[in-house]
């Protein structure tokens, strides 16, 4: 279980998150939504070690996440994507996925590597994991293209593949569908659905495209101004007047 208890984050004395408490059940997919600036990315940042909390705890299967370094958190089997794809320029898509899984994945890939001493074998293991992850999101045809030559949507898919290639048990996806065409987004939703169903994976998904989000999640937590505004099933959240008021109103019609 992922458990956030009274997590608080301040930036220069201004509260970005205040006493945020919620849980994500093992092997479930939770959607985290809310208006711009509500603190969604800040939560992922704190839980993945790039933002320091000012109070509270975030634990995964009982192990502390918030307050640790990103590499320590990655070693606990936690993977993430960023709001911006952050691929390394000058490297191919495949190389980006391989490097990402090498840096991040200590649970699946890395332990597999430890059992195979020769460095060539190491590279083969990384490559195989990268190819499998790229295949899972229909991105394998991009393998040998330079990352800077990819469209925004393609870069996004490669970033998702990079997070999957590390073999995470807990995955934070920060707006994976941003910049995708309608067709790419629909395909990614199908791909992720299949992936989640066949892997031992707990997922926290931040996404403004609510059609995409609602097709993947079983529960939703709504943030508003750094606090939990509501929590429930997709149907319950859609019908919650406070959520409609704060977020789902005119500008955010459910697609
Ligand atoms: N590094 C930072 N320094 C100062 N303030 C920050 C920093 N990162 C985020 N904030 C502020 O913290 C608040 C929460 O931002 P955050 O990006 O977490 O919101 P969000 O819900 O992810 O928004 P969006 O949907 O627009 O991505 C905002 O007021 C933002 O301006």
H-state helical runs in the chain: 40-48, 70-75, 93-104, 109-114, 119-136, 152-165, 182-198, 210-214, 234-238, 241-243
DSSP-based three-state secondary structure for 220: strand
Residue 76 belongs to some domain of the structure: no
Residue 243 belongs to some domain of the structure: yes
**What percent of the chain clears pLDDT 70, i.e. is strictly above it?**
89
- Residue 37 alpha carbon to ligand 1 centre in Å: 5
Residue 229 belongs to some domain of the structure: yes
DSSP state, residue 88:
P
pLDDT tens digits along 212-247: 999 999 999 999 999 999 999 999 999 999 898 888
Residue 53 belongs to some domain of the structure: yes
- Residue 62 alpha carbon to ligand 1 centre in Å: 27
What's the pTM value of the predicted model, to 2 decimals?
0.90
Higher pLDDT, 113 or 231: 231
Lowest mean pLDDT among 31-45, 56-70, 78-92: 78-92
Residue 242 belongs to some domain of the structure: yes
User: Which residue in 62, 69, 71, 81 sits closest to 3, CA to CA?
Assistant: 62
Residue 99 belongs to some domain of the structure: no
**ipTM of the predicted structure?**
0.96
The count of domains in the chain is 1
Compute the distance between CA of residue 192 and CA of residue 98 in angstroms, rounded to an integer: 20
CA-nearest residue, atom 5 of ligand 1: 11
pLDDT tens digits along 80-101: 998 887 898 999 999 999 987 6
Residue 45 belongs to some domain of the structure: yes
CATH number, domain containing residue 36: 3.40.50.300
> What is the extent of the structural domain holding 3?
1-62+169-175+204-255
Judge if the beta carbon of residue 16 lies within 6 A of ligand 1. Answer: yes
Residue 218 belongs to some domain of the structure: yes
């Amino acid at each position: 279980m992922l458990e956030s208890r009274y997590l608080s984050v301040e930036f220069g004395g201004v509260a970005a998150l205040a006493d945020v408490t919620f849980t994500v059940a093992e092997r479930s997919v939770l959607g985290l939504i809310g208006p711009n600036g509500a603190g969604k990315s800040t939560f992922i940042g704190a839980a993945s070690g790039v933002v320091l909390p000012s109070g509270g705890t975030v634990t995964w299967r009982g192990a502390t996440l918030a307050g640790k370094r990103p590499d320590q958190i990655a070693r606990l089997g936690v993977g993430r994507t960023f709001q911006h794809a952050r691929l390394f320029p000058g490297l191919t898509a495949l190389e980006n996925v391989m490097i990402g899984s090498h840096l991040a994945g200590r649970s699946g890939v890395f332990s597999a590597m430890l059992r195979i001493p020769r460095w060539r074998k190491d590279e083969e293991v990384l490559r195989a994991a990268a190819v499998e992850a790229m295949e899972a999101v229909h991105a394998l045809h991009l393998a040998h293209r330079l990352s800077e030559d990819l469209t925004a949507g393609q870069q996004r898919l490669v970033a998702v593949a990079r997070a999957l290639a590390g073999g995470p048990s807990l995955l934070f996806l920060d707006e994976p569908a941003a910049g995708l065409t309608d067709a790419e987004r629909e395909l990614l939703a199908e791909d992720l659905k299949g992936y989640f169903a066949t892997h031992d994976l707990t997922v926290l998904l931040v996404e403004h495209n609510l059609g995409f989000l609602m097709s993947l999640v079983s529960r939703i937590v709504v943030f508003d101004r750094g606090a939990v505004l509501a929590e429930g099933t997709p149907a319950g959240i859609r019908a919650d007047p406070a959520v409609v008021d704060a977020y789902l109103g005119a500008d955010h019609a459910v697609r």
